[in-house]
Structure 1
Amino acid sequence: MERTSTSAEPDPADRASADASRADASSAGPSSPGRAPTDTVEGAGELATLARILPRLPRGLDTQLGPGDDAAVVAAPDGRFVVTTDLMVHGPDFRLAWSTPHDLGWKAAASNLADVAAMGARPTALVVALAVPPGTLVADLERLADGLREACAEMAPGCGVVGGDLSVSTTFTVAVTAFGDLGGRPPVRRDGARPGDVVAVSGALGRAARGLDLLFRLGVDHEGAPDADLAAALRERDPDVGWQLAPTPPIADGRLAATAGATAMLDLSDGLALDAARVARASGVVVDLDPARLGADPRVALGGGEDHSLFATFPPGTDLPGGFRPVGVVREAGGGAPRVTVGRRDLDEVGGWDPYRLWSGQAG
């Protein structure tokens, strides 16, 4: 049987190995030369820093008790809630030379909101923990809070930040935990796809990967270190760079998919091929993707990650909701292993986003 590769050229992994040998000066957090001592987290202290951040965060519609007590209280009308968490660490997950503080807040919210949406739930609350170098500017954390607030307002209106924590670290780290309400519906899991189901996607395929490829190739200086000015110029010229740094997944389509009877769903955080394989294994089926529906470069659509689009399967004949579009069909595994095929051809590898492979935690 002919086999199809998912690897996109050029491979970011090749550039990452060279990138890993250099540490960008921003790895210790945004610098603060010439600033007053109270402009930094270390100088201002925890209480003063929080006093500047908290007013910028959104209060959710379901929040009964927000920041300021030992724990938050969030309404759970369904009697159940979904919960997920994502960690963003400088090096493996982002570069301060490429991402603005606003980008970090936006992307941290987006990745978690997409996980909630993929269960068919409505995002209700976020808990945000930050560990940052002592020289980090408080103003940068204010901008990060603005990114969180604006992401919630655009993608999940009514979702609020209900609490969190702030600490000091040599590595800039953002951890977000998200909660969601199922609205009386069962969660949409990964193991419900059945032969004959339509495979559909809502959102971008490969945009974040194309943006990352541009940053690796053109957003670095002559020594290969991430360069803020070059990245900003790239972002102005190519919207895919902005999508990598601050994606806008179709959060509302998660609930629409659940209402329409989606049999399985997940968010495409690690790439179409890798994430579709997770549904195939969980459901014991073959997910057969149509290469004609994967855009101009199917390799990038299959192997790229971090779009945070929604992948779902629907019973045949379903009127696909929202922005969902068909990209394949579910077939019986028969005597073979559950897997992903493209045009009924096996993949020779299931590529996708892997921070352990593609980026180095010691890179700048």
Structure 2
Amino acid sequence: MSPNTPDGAGTVAQVGEFGLIDRITRGRPQPRTTLLGPGDDAAVVAAADGRVVASTDVLVEGVHFRLDWSGPEHVGRKAVAVNLADVAAMGAVPTAVLVGLACPSETAVAVVDQLTAGMWAEATRARVGVVGGDMTQAPALVISITALGDLQGRAPVTRSGALPGDVVAVAGKLGWSAAGLAVLGRGFRSPVSVVGAHRAPEPPYPAGPLAAEAGATAMIDVSDGLLADLGHISAASTVAIDVRTDLIEVHQRLVDVASALGGDPRHWVLTGGEDHALAATFPDPRGIPDGWRVIGTVTHGTGVTVDGAPYTGTTGWQHWR
């Protein structure tokens, strides 16, 4: 759907800022962590731990999403998911999101309705509230999400704690979003399973706190690609990481899609971003919680290798490159 698609409710300019806010927030339930929701100068969110985990991301039309590839509801879900995944990667339980929305004045209200419906749907899946935000006019559709989380008394799991002798494990899907992007790039809209994974990822939010409770030494959200993001842990922890491909499952659906498109499913799994799986290091493989699977080891040294050798080719996404 184009931002200019007409709708019975008209455009955002016709509805106005406060009318749009009312449409977005009216009748929406909030979790118990929201002590004061939208409607005042600021929200109040419970922080029983005494600390708040905070993260923010900006999604720009034409850079992070295309409305001819993803519907507004998909974009809304994705905008919330990519931020809450960062909170989970710190070992925190997500509690709330704030939304910044900028769009052209001729944007159809129907687009904003669907966009925010997706945001509320993903927030509900993560059991968090959409507690406030801001909106303004802009020449393109831009979404900024700030996510908050609660450590519940635990220490945050950073990128810098991995130690030689640890094992590397992941939770969530790998390679599915990259496969979906490849499908869309060839002008197709199916298989729905991979296209849907690109349009609206489903991060394993509970896996982050579970990993923290199990003693994870380092953790990261896989947003730019498994090898690229493990590279951040390697650099921050001053260790070497080796990924073993015999331990990584390549789903048959990815194999089928790669065969049809002439792609490499293993490359998607190792370097494809935007699935927002979680990767972590653990001191003992016997203590890894359910939902996590071992894919490699941590040793002395620097850098990330695959089956003991440097990986040939791009390891993941980087802006401005």
Same-fold call, TM > 0.5?
yes
1:218 to 187, 196, 216: 187
Please name the residue that 1:32 is paired with: 5
Partner residue, 1:75: 46
Equivalent of 2:169 in 183, 200, 219? 200
1:1-364 correspondence to structure 2 within 5 Å: 30-33=3-6, 35=7, 39-55=10-26, 57-154=28-125, 156-157=126-127, 159-219=128-188, 234-235=189-190, 237-296=191-250, 297-333=265-301, 338-357=302-321
In the alignment, is the contact (CA less than 8 A) between 1:289 and 1:342 conserved in 2? yes
Percent of matched pairs sharing the same residue:
47
Distance 1:55 1:258 in 2: 36
Whose RCO is larger (CA < 8 A, sep 6+)?
Answer: 1
- One-letter amino acid of the structure 2 residue matched with residue 169 of structure 1: A
**1:189–1:350 Cα change, 3 Å:** farther
Matched position secondary structure for 2:310: strand
Go from structure 1 to structure 2 and tell me whether the alpha carbon gap of 1:313 and 1:196 turns closer, same or farther (over 3 Å shift). Answer: same
Deviations 1:3-32 (A, max 9, x none): xxxxxxxxxxxxxxxxxxxxxxx7xx5223
- In structure 2, distance between residues paired with 1:356 and 1:89: 14
Which ranges in structure 2 are unaligned for 5 or more consecutive residues?
A: 251-264
Q: Give RMSD over aligned pairs.
A: 1.5
Contact 1:57 1:146 in 2 (8 A): no
SS at match of 1:341: strand
Cα distance, 1:84 vs. partner?
Answer: 0.2
1:298 maps to a residue whose letter is R
Contact kept? 1:57, 1:145, Cα under 8 Å = no
CA distance in 1, matches of 2:26, 2:281: 41
SS in 1 for 2:87: helix
Aligned residues: 307
Unmatched tracts of structure 1, length 5 or more: 1-25, 220-233, 358-364
Provide Cα deviations, 1:288-309, integer angstroms capped at 9, x if missing partner: 0001123343221111110100
Q: Letter of the 2:148 partner, please give it.
A: F
* TM-score (structure 2 length as normaliser): 0.92
Cα distance change of structure 1 residues 133 and 56 upon mapping to structure 2, 3 Å threshold: farther
Give the superposition deviation at 1:131.
0.3
Q: 2:173 is paired with a residue of what secondary structure?
A: coil
Contact kept in structure 2, 1:56 and 1:146, CA below 8 Å: no
User: Which letter maps to 1:60?
Assistant: P
* 3-state secondary structure, aligned to 2:320: helix
Please state whether the residue corresponding to 2:224 is helix, strand or coil. Answer: coil
Question: Does the 8 Å contact 2:285/2:294 carry over to 1?
Answer: no
What SS does structure 2 have at the residue aligned with 1:30? coil
Deviation per CA, 1:52-105: give whole Å up to 9, x if none: 111264423211111111111111100001000011000110001111111111
CA deviation map 1:200-252 (0-9, x unaligned): 00011111011001111124xxxxxxxxxxxxxx14x3311100000111001
8 Å Cα contact 1:60-1:162 kept in structure 2:
no
- 8 Å Cα contact 1:272-1:352 kept in structure 2: yes
Provide the C-alpha distance between the structure 1 equivalents of 2:119 and 2:28, rounded to a whole number of angstroms.
7
Classify the secondary structure of the residue corresponding to 2:154. coil
Matched-pair contact (CA < 8 Å) for 1:86–1:112? yes
C-alpha distance after superposition, 1:255-298 (max 9, x if no partner): 00000000000000000010000000111111100011233432
Residue 162 of structure 1 aligns with an amino acid whose one-letter code is V
The 3 A distance-change label for structure 1 pair 321 and 262 is same
- 1:79 is paired with a residue of what secondary structure? coil
Distance of 2:193 and 2:52 partners within structure 1: 35
Q: TM-score w.r.t. structure 1 length?
A: 0.81
